[in-house]
Amino acid sequence: MDDVTWLDATGQAQLVRSGEISARELVEHAIGRIERLNPEVNAFIHTSFEKARTVAARGPTGPFAGVPFAVKDLFQQSEGDPYHYGTRFLKDLDWRAPADTWLVSKLRQAGFVLVGRTNTPEIGAWTTTEPDSYGPTRNPWDLTRSPGGSSGGSAVAVATGMVPAAHANDGGGSVRIPASATGLVGLKPTRARISLGPEIGEAWAGMTHESALTRSVRDIAGILDAVGGMAPGDPYTAPPPTRPYTHEVGAPVGRLRVGVQLDHPSRTLDPEVVAAVTATAGLLDELGHIVEVARPAALDEPPAEAQVLMPVFQYLDIVRWGRAIGRPLTADDLDQDNWALGGHGRDVSAVAYLDGLAALHAWCRRVAAWWNHDEEGTGGGRRPGYDLLVTPTLPRLPARLGELRPVPGRPLAGFLASGEYVSFTSPFNATGQPAMSLPLHWSADGLPVGVQFVAAYGREDLLIRLASVLEQARPWADRHPACAG
C-alpha cells in the first residue's frame, strides 16, 4: 500500500478499475495516514471515516471511483456533516449541513469517497489558515510556517499524501496561494466554470471560484471535466470547452507569446520568487516560445473605488449568519479583524458599492484587453496580444505561523499584512480569467515556490496543455515533505 500513497487520483482510480486494489483498501489507507499525520499538521478538522467506509464497500462508480477526497469547510457543504466556515460560533453550535451542494454531489457522482473536511480561516478571509476555532494548519515543508489560505487544510492534506486531491476555492488566491506554499498544482478556473449552487448564485461579486488542489496536471483536468458546467438557475456560465480537458493533457501547445512579470509596483519580492519566475521564463524560451518582459499596464493601477467591496461582503456574511442562527452576531463571535472589516462594510452606502463595482468592471476590461492586443502597437497600429502572463504566485516565501494573525489592539493590522500575499493572484479573481500555480521551483531552504500562469477568459485548455509540458520538463512528482514519509 505504501506504493499507492504518492499516486495521483487518476492513478489510484486506474488501480481500482483494474482490480489491483479495492476502494475499501484505498480508503483504509487514507484513514491510516490521516490518523498518523494529522495530529502534527492539523489539515482535517472533521472526519467521516464510517461514512467513507460504507460508500467504499458499496463500490462507487465514476471516473474517480474509490479515490479518497477531502472537502474544504467553506462554501461547499456535505449532508449531515459539520459545517463551521472557520468560525467559533458555528463550532459551538455544532452546525451541520442539511444537504449537499451541487459540487459535492458531482464529486460523489465522479466516484470520490469523502473522508473529511479541512481547516480554513474564519470566513475564508485570510491568506493563512490559523482560525481561532481550530488552530493553525502547519506547512509540512516547514512546520513553523503557514501553508497559506484559505485552502490551507486541503493543501496540506494533499501535500502529505493523506489524500491525492482535495476541494479548494479561491476568492483572491485561495487555491493558488496554498498550492505555491505546499508544492501543488492549483487552478482557479474561469468564472462560473463550476457552479456555486444551489444556495449561492455568485459570491463576492463573482470573484469566488471553486476548484481543487492536486499533485498532477492530469488530475486537475479530470476533476474539471467531472464537476464543471452550468447548473439550473446559475446567473451566468463560462464558455463551454470544445472537448474534455483530459484531452488537453499532452496536446500540442504551439508557439506562444508570453509576457513575464518580474516585479510589482508596491511589493518587494523575495529573491527566490524572482529566481523562480526567471527560471520559468528561461525554460519557456528553451521550449521555443516568444518570451518578453511585459504585463497589462492596468495591473499597476487598481481602482481605489473598489476597496469598498471586500468589507461589504464580510458584513453580508455577518448578517446572513445572524439570520441563520437566529440572533445577531457580536464581536465575541468573530476574530477582531473580521469584525472590524464587517463594521467598515456596514457603513458603505449602496451608491458607493455600485460605484466601486463599476470601477472594478471597467478596470477588468483594461486588464483583459492585453490578451487581445497590445495597447502600444508599432506604427500606430495594433499587434496580436499575448497568450499567457507569467507572474509569481506569492511575493515572498510562506509566512511564519502567527505573522498574519490579528494583532491585539490594532484592528486590521493582521488582515492588511495577510492581504499582501494576494498581490499577484487577486486581480484574476476580479477579471474571472483562469490562472494556475505550478510547483516549478524550490528555495535554497527546501520550500516550494509556485509560478502563476494566466490565460484569456475561458482558456483553461491552454493552461492545461502548457502545464503538462512543464510537468514533463521540470518534474515535481517525486518531491515530498520529510514529515510525510
Q: Which of these, 190, 232, 216, 297, lies nearest to 470 by C-alpha position?
A: 216
Determine which one of 146, 150, 151, 423 is catalytic: 150
Question: What mean pLDDT do residues 284-295 have?
Answer: 98
First-to-final CA distance of the chain: 13
On the question of pLDDT at 379 being above 50, the answer is no
Q: Which of these, 70, 9, 451, 392, lies nearest to 216 by C-alpha position?
A: 9
The model's pLDDT over 81-95, given as tens digits with 9 standing for 90+, comes to 999 999 999 999 999
Percentage of the chain beyond pLDDT 70 is 98
Determine which one of 72, 180, 418, 437 is catalytic: 72
Tell me, what's the pLDDT at 380?
Answer: 47
Q: Which pLDDT band holds residue 240 (cuts at 50, 70, 90)?
A: very high
Tell me, what's the pLDDT at 1?
Answer: 75
User: What is the rounded average pLDDT for all residues in the chain?
Assistant: 96
Tell me, what's the pLDDT at 143?
Answer: 98
Range of the domain at 411: 2-484
Query: Which range has the worst mean pLDDT, 10-24, 234-248, 318-332, 376-390?
Result: 376-390
Q: Which residues of 139-166 are buried (b: 16+ CB within 10 A; e: fewer)?
A: bbbbeebbbbbbbbbbbbbbbbbbbbbb
Q: Which whole-number Å values give the CA distances from 103 to 35, 113, 148, 212, in the listed order?
A: 27, 14, 23, 11
Q: Identify the helix (H) or strand (E) that includes residue 436.
A: strand 435-442
On the question of pLDDT at 15 being above 90, the answer is yes
Domain of 110, CATH number, reads 3.90.1300.10
Q: Which pLDDT band holds residue 27 (cuts at 50, 70, 90)?
A: very high
Check: CB of residue 338 under 8 Å from CB of residue 131. no
Q: How many separate domains does the chain show?
A: 1
Question: What mean pLDDT do residues 406-415 have?
Answer: 94
Q: Which pLDDT band holds residue 382 (cuts at 50, 70, 90)?
A: low
On the question of pLDDT at 245 being above 80, the answer is yes
Q: What is the spatial distance between Cα 269 and Cα 262, in angstroms, rounded to a whole number? A: 9
Name the packing angle between helices 336-346 and 309-325 (round to 10°).
100
Tell me, what's the pLDDT at 3?
Answer: 87
Q: What is the spatial distance between Cα 66 and Cα 55, in angstroms, rounded to a whole number? A: 8
Check: CB of residue 67 under 8 Å from CB of residue 26. yes
Question: What mean pLDDT do residues 289-306 have?
Answer: 97
Tell me, what's the pLDDT at 377?
Answer: 44
DSSP reduced 3-state for 89: helix
Q: Read off the C-alpha cell for 450.
A: 509556485
Instruction: Provide the total of helices (H) and of strands (E) in the chain, helices listed first.
Output: 15, 11
The model's pLDDT over 319-368, given as tens digits with 9 standing for 90+, comes to 999 999 999 999 999 999 999 999 999 999 999 999 999 999 999 999 99
On the question of pLDDT at 110 being above 70, the answer is yes
Tell me, what's the pLDDT at 373?
Answer: 60
33 C-beta neighbours (distance < 10 Å), count: 20
The model's pLDDT over 423-480, given as tens digits with 9 standing for 90+, comes to 999 999 999 999 999 999 999 999 999 999 999 999 999 999 999 999 999 999 999 9
Tell me, what's the pLDDT at 371?
Answer: 95
25 C-beta neighbours (distance < 10 Å), count: 16
Q: What is the spatial distance between Cα 411 and Cα 415, in angstroms, rounded to a whole number? A: 8
Please state the φ and ψ torsions of residue 474, each to the nearest 5 degrees: -130, 75
| Number of alpha carbons in the 13 Å side-chain half-sphere of residue 98 | 3
Tell me, what's the pLDDT at 91?
Answer: 98
Question: What mean pLDDT do residues 149-159 have?
Answer: 98
Asked if 91 is an active-site residue, the reply is no
Q: Read off the C-alpha cell for 260.
A: 513575464
Q: Which pLDDT band holds residue 374 (cuts at 50, 70, 90)?
A: low
DSSP reduced 3-state for 62: coil
Asked if 216 is an active-site residue, the reply is no
Name 421's Cβ contacts closer than 8 Å, sequence gap at least 6.
127, 148, 173, 177, 394, 395, 396, 399, 404
Determine which one of 133, 174, 426, 437 is catalytic: 174
Tell me, what's the pLDDT at 258?
Answer: 98
Asked if 150 is an active-site residue, the reply is yes
Enter the pTM of the model.
Answer: 0.97
Question: What mean pLDDT do residues 301-313 have?
Answer: 97
Q: Identify the helix (H) or strand (E) that includes residue 367.
A: helix 350-368
